[in-house]
Amino acid sequence: MDTTEKMKTENLNAWFGPKQALKEITLSIKANVVTAIIGPSGCGKSTFIRTLNRMHELVPEARISGQVLLDGQNIYADEVDPVQIRRRVGMVFQKPNPFPTMSIYDNVAAGLKLAGAKKGQALDEIVQKSLQQATLWDEVKDDLRKPGTSISGGQQQRLCIARALAVNPEVILMDEPCSALDPIATAKIETLIRQLAENYTVVIVTHNMQQAARVSDFTAFFYLGKLIEYGETNALFENPKSELTEKYITGKFG
Amino acid sequence: MKIKITGDKIFRFSAGIIVASAAVILIASVYILTTGSTEVLQRFGLDFFMGTNWNPVEGRESFGVLPYLLGTLVTSGIALLIGVPLSLGIAIFLAEMAPKAIRVPVSYLIELLAAVPSVIFGLWGLFVLRFWVLNYIEIPVNANLGWIPIFSGTPFGLDIFTAGIILAIMIIPTVASVSREVISAVPNSIREGAYSIGATKWEVIRHWVLSYGRSGILGAIILGLGRAIGETMAVTMVIGNAVGPNAMPTSLFQPGQTLPSLIANGFLEAPTPLEKSAYIGAGLVLLLLSLLINILAHILVTRVLKVKGGAVE
Ligand SMILES: Nc1ncnc2c1ncn2[C@@H]1O[C@H](COP(=O)(O)OP(=O)(O)O)[C@@H](O)[C@H]1O
Ligand SMILES: [Mg+2]
């Protein structure tokens, strides 16, 4: 297993106004593996991954302290443009959110068009490749002009994954990507996540521990804004070091 | 057999009555205006719509509403051209940029402006705005670009241009506050999706927020246009009230007349039944114009704005 470090947070704190949501998180995220973030609701999972692509700062009055490194470079350094970070660190949200005013094609092409891509064969090819990578191409190839919201929830979520892939990110963040989906759609996304880990660094938030066990290589357990335990997924589930982790994974709370 | 009356039934019944009365009022208006203007329509026929004279002198009567129809369109057009970008700017600023401490009071203030009676706008236009427009816009533009027909003439501030400006100001509260509501109603998940693929704030607003809200914003613009077309008092006070061929809006810097201002100026003093019926005919044209614009807008919303590829161009 490739274990170079892709991202790292150092003494990361995050606030919403006066409320502190993350406390002193120091965590390393390895390249080309799936890292799962687990923990009870409200423990800061979403906040954590939203600090990794500077989405956190879009919330009014939200702020952070500490560092987030991407390939060793602090993404919060003054000279860094958050737009560039978000191209390198893509995101898939809890509720599928394809752009309703755009066709399936344009949903995937939107990020590239923002970056200046022109209509044409090259763009068509990237759109097709992204949809293929998201295992959606066969289902929508005849309906590319239909609205992005005209397909099922599971398909919409894969469309959102294709949309993120199209800008060729290095890291993909997923915030409970299956929580709004049925078991069959969930299984498809989980398979897809495993495939993505071959080429991308994936961080997935989930409140479903079986899912974490199924898809991830490493797992981090958060509780009340703190990182309680981090380790290889098997080790963490079979042999938790912390009593809190053990309680959580055995369903004693949360 | 007993009929059960539920809240749902009561609601549907009363809603039905309201819808029906709206339709009845509309049809009745068209009917009353049509019968009221039969005399002038029979006498002048198509000339009533295409003619430019307005001469009530007995024996040489001639009534044509074209200058006022065009005056209405031109002043409303100026109002949209100036008022809509400003309103959208205000709406975007308030909904997307301003901190709450500014957003709440300013939004309230703008909504308050919508409640200012139009005669007050008219007085302000007559005593204040007229001179600003004259000194800072009309005289310099006329001096430099007076050779262009629409800027020609001898400006003195009571004209089509000033009327357009005052209308622009009067539609801003409506257009801005409805657009602000529309923009605020755009789900945040759409903005987040756009940010996540590397859109800047301005791109998010332009390609996503405005695109998602476009039919609502168009609705806001139609509301503003409706107000501009029908506005009477303020326009009457600043437009200069030209009559006959002189009222043709050939230059923005000349006095003109709109359909509402024509009616307001003349109806009560109209001495003969024929002249009275000419004013009622002007009312009919105004009503038909408003209906036509609303129908066109409806078609625009349903046909043109349906999802199509290439929202990001
Ligand atoms: N927009 C917000 N404004 C204020 N507090 C927030 C906001 N979003 C999240 N929080 C708070 O931050 C904490 C962490 O939330 P979150 O990261 O969403 O948790 P999780 O994803 O693990 O359920 C919670 O206490 C939550 O109430
Ligand atoms: Mg969450």
* pLDDT higher than threshold 80 for residue B2: no
With 60 as the cut, is the pLDDT of residue A137 above it? yes
Domain encompassing residue A73: 5-96+171-249
Sign of CA dihedral A134, A139, A144, A150: negative
Of the candidates A84, A105, A164, the beta carbon closest to that of B197 is on A164
Which of these, B69, B85, B75, lies nearest to B231 by C-alpha position?
B75
Residue A114 belongs to a domain: no
| pLDDT over 90, % of chain A | 92
B312: confidence class by pLDDT, cuts 50, 70, 90:
very low
Average pLDDT, chain B: 91
DSSP, res B245: G
Mutate to test the interface with A, among B190, B312, B313 (most CBs of A within 10 A): B312
Residue B20, pLDDT score: 93
Q: How confident is the model at residue A148 (pLDDT cuts 50, 70, 90)?
A: very high
The string of pLDDT tens digits covering residues A72-82 is 999 999 999 99
**A160 CB within 8 Å of a chain B CB:** yes
What residues flank ligand 1, with Cβ below 6 Å?
Answer: A 16, 19, 21, 39, 41-47, 59
A113 within some domain = no
pLDDT over threshold 50, residue A154: yes
Question: pLDDT value at position A103?
Answer: 95
Within 8 A by CB and 6+ apart from A33, the residues are A1, A2, A3, A197, A201, A202, A216, A217, A218
Q: How many domains does chain A have?
A: 1
Among residues A10, A147, A146, A23, the alpha carbon closest in space to that of A70 is found at: A10
C-alpha torsion angle, residues A85, A13, A207, A254 (rounded to 10)? -170
A251 C-alpha to ligand 1 centroid (Å): 22
Mean pLDDT of B8-37: 92
d(CA B98, CA B72): 36
Q: Which atom of ligand 1 is nearest to the CA of A22?
A: 14
pTM attached to this predicted model = 0.87
* CATH number of the CATH domain containing A23: 3.40.50.300
CA pair distance A249, A238, nearest whole angstrom: 9
Q: Provide φ and ψ at A154, rounded to 5°.
A: -65, -40
pLDDT digits (tens, 9 = 90+) for B160-180: 999 999 999 999 999 999 999
**Token pair for A133:** 């990578």
Instruction: Confirm if A93 and A160 have CB atoms less than 8 A apart.
Output: yes
In a domain, A231, yes or no: yes
The predicted-structure confidence for B125-167, as pLDDT tens digits, reads as follows 999 999 999 999 999 999 999 999 999 999 999 999 999 999 9
State the Cα–Cα distance between residues A3 and A33, nearest whole angstrom: 8
pLDDT of residue B297: 83
CA A83 to ligand 1 centroid distance, Å: 23
Do residues A166 and A137 lie in contact, with contact meaning Cβ atoms separated by under 8 Å?
no
Burial of residue A226, with CB atoms counted within 10 A of its CB: 0-12 exposed, 13-18 middle, 19 or more buried: middle
For a ligand 1 pocket test, name from A12, A43, A207, A224 the mutation site with the most ligand atoms within 8 angstroms of its C-beta: A43
Q: What is the DSSP string of B267-295?
A: GGG--SHHHHHHHHHHHHHHHHHHHHHHH
Q: What is the pLDDT of residue A86?
A: 97
Question: Is A155 inside a domain boundary?
Answer: no
Above 50 in pLDDT, residue B117?
Answer: yes
pLDDT at B308 over 50: no
A213 is a domain residue = yes
**Domain spanning B21-304: CATH 1.10.3720.10:** yes
Q: Strand locations in A197-236, DSSP E?
A: 201-205, 218-223, 226-232
pLDDT (average), residues B285-297: 91
Pick from B190, B195, B212: CB nearest A58: B195
Whether A138 is in a domain gets the answer: no
Q: What does the domain layout of chain B look like in residue ranges? A: 21-304
pLDDT given at position B192: 96
Whole-number pLDDT of residue A42: 94
Residue B272 and residue B191: Cα distance in Å, rounded?
62
Q: Does the beta-carbon distance from A97 to B313 stay under 8 Å?
A: no
Band (pLDDT 50/70/90 cuts) for residue A146 is: very high
